[in-house]
Amino acid sequence: MLAQRYPDDFNGIVAGAPASNLAPLALFNAWMVRSNTAPDGRQILTAEKIPALHAAVMRACGNARGIITDPRRCGFNPASIQCPPGLPRPA
């Protein structure tokens, strides 16, 4: 606030944690919750499923060092690890 009101008092400013507009994140979080909820109200992608998803993505897109160098070139399809129809869903 001082820099905005009295800019001539400063030669420069080092901002370690500048203020930011967090309003868009509130909408994103709501979208994430909504898109990760099944029709029956249960969460689709749970913490228990993340390791399997991570391993599949790394197999498809990671290099020998375990790094995805260009995510835009990753053609991973999440449906490739989907359980076949008719099998019971894990809880």
Q: What is the mean pLDDT of the chain?
A: 86
Residue 64 lies in a domain: yes
Residue 68 lies in a domain: yes
- What band does 52 get if pLDDT is binned at 50, 70 and 90? very high
Residue 71 lies in a domain: yes
Structural domains of the chain, count: 1
Segments forming the whole domain that contains residue 68: 46-79
Per the CB < 8 A criterion, the answer to whether 68 and 58 are in contact is yes
DSSP string for the chain: -HHHH-GGG-S----SS-----HHHHHHHHHHHHHTB-TTS-BSS-TTTHHHHHHHHHHHH--TTS--S-GGG----GGGGPPPTTSPPP-
Residue 65 lies in a domain: yes
Residue 5 lies in a domain: no
List the structure tokens of 66. Answer: 């375990």
33 vs 89 pLDDT, higher one: 33
